Amino acid sequence: MSIRRIKALTKKEFIQMSRDIRSLMGALFNPLLMIFLFGYALSLDVDRIPTVVLDWDRTPVSREFMHRLTDSRYFTLVRYLERDSDVDASIARGEALMALVIPTDFASRVKQGIPAPLQVIFDGSDSNTATIALGYLKAVAAGFDIALQEQRIRRAGLKMVDMPLEARIRVWFNPELKSKNFIIPGLTGVIMMAICSVLTALSVSKEKETGTLEQLISTPITSLELLLGKLLPYLAVGLVDLALVVGAGVLIFDVPFRGSYVDLFIASFIFLIGSLSWGLFVSVVAKSQIQASQISVISAFLPSFLLSGFIYPIENMPLVLQGLTFIVPARYYVEVLKGLFLQGVDLTVLWPQVLALVLYAVLVLNLARKRFTKRLL
């Protein structure tokens, strides 16, 4: 293997990139565009649930319950309704996700200490949000019920008895339970997998279309030298993209980074080699830039987005899909990123994931080399 030939081919790639400014700018700013779009648009936090109320009771008790509901950050009162038909219309128009109907005898039942049912209607088209909203509503109703019980006990001249069980809850790593704190690290892995595989796939397929790849094949350069010469420039671009995405996550989205940047560089370096090598393999298989782009999206972006545990928990997937996640490199890289960002652990804890990334990089790099060898022969 000749270092001089690798350096010459690497220099050629850098010159070629500098001449195609639009592609270079796209390679640098597309990751930022993706992190902004996904970071702001994709949120699993459920709050400010639009709510309409049909209050047939119209008493201080019903208004107190409504105050408890709207004082929390989870519900937003859109408007009060006047007729039963308005409930269906509000849900159907998408004006509200939840409709609350308070019966006429609500206050009297509360004062008598007998069950006072409330009718709650949810828009089940968004089942996840509706389920979470139901939990919030039950918590508000439970708090209202406890307050009523305390009032009755005090009126009776009795003393409140402290509950023997006291739960002191502490949430580690993400105490505010912000979804962006685990979305941004996972999104970083998905973006890097998608961008890097497309970069190298389009680079080689473009040379195939213009005929310059055949000129390289005719030279004494070996397949491994050609592979490394193609890979190293885009490895540098990938590291710059990583710095931009991580910087945006930490500085703009205020996601904490508690780990070591050296560990981040090591894990990312290994992951990028595997991702870029996969793009090189795709470029050899594909016959055009369009085909290379399509194969990269299907084989890199979609599995990374759906099967990496980035959003959807792997343990909740069917067993067949859980098995498929073991061959998705983004799964291990996302685990590394979440460990470094949120937990602040080092690679001595994350070594199984790093080892999996090393095996993937070696396997795909060797696969790409063999495929290049067949082309050279």
Strands 98-102 vs 49-55: parallel, antiparallel or unpaired: parallel
- Is residue 4, in this structure, part of any structural domain at all? no
Decide if 165 is inside a domain.
no
Percentage of residues of the chain with pLDDT beyond 70: 90
Cα separation, 202 vs 248, whole angstroms: 26
Assign residue 53 the CATH number of its domain.
Answer: 3.40.1710.10
Check whether residue 151 and residue 285 sit in a common domain: no
Angle between helix axes 3-19 and 223-247 (nearest 10 degrees) is 50
Tens-digit pLDDT profile for residues 255-299 = 989 989 999 999 999 999 999 999 888 888 887 888 888 888 888
Q: Domain total for the chain?
A: 2
Q: Are residues 37 and 56 in the same domain?
A: no
The label of the residue with tokens 């406890």 reads 146
pLDDT given for residue 328 in this prediction: 92
For residue 101, give every residue at least 6 positions away whose Cβ sits within 8 Å of its Cβ, in sequence order, or none: 53, 54, 56, 84, 87, 118, 119, 120, 121
Say if residue 338 is in the same domain as residue 200. Answer: yes
374: pLDDT strictly greater than 50: no
Q: Same domain for 217 and 262?
A: yes
Whole-Å CA distances, 26 to 29, 260, 304: 5, 29, 21
Strands of the 119-122 sheet, one edge to the other: 75-80, 49-55, 98-102, 119-122
Q: C-alpha 205: how far from its chain's center?
A: 30
CA dihedral 267→268→270→274, nearest 10 degrees, is 140
Q: Which stretch of DSSP H or E encloses residue 95? A: none
Nearest by Cα to 35 from 177, 185, 176: 185
Residue 107 neighbours by CB under 8 Å, 6+ apart: 57, 59, 60, 61, 62
For residue 219, pLDDT over 80 is answered with no
Distances (CA, A) of 61 to 6, 56, 67, 68, 142: 79, 12, 10, 11, 15
Find the mean pLDDT for residues 348-373.
88
User: What's the domain range around 336?
Assistant: 9-43+178-376
Residue 312 lies in a domain: yes
Note whether 149 and 26 are same-domain residues: no
The pLDDT tens digits of the residues spanning 186-207 come to 889 999 998 888 888 877 777 7
Work out the pLDDT band at 160, boundaries 50, 70, 90.
Answer: low
Nearest to 36 by CA among 339, 249, 280: 249
- CA 222 and chain centroid, separation: 40
Same domain, 323 and 362: yes
Averaged pLDDT, 304-324: 87
User: Within a 10 A sphere around the Cβ of 37, how many other Cβ atoms?
Assistant: 11
Tokens 């305390």 -> residue: 150
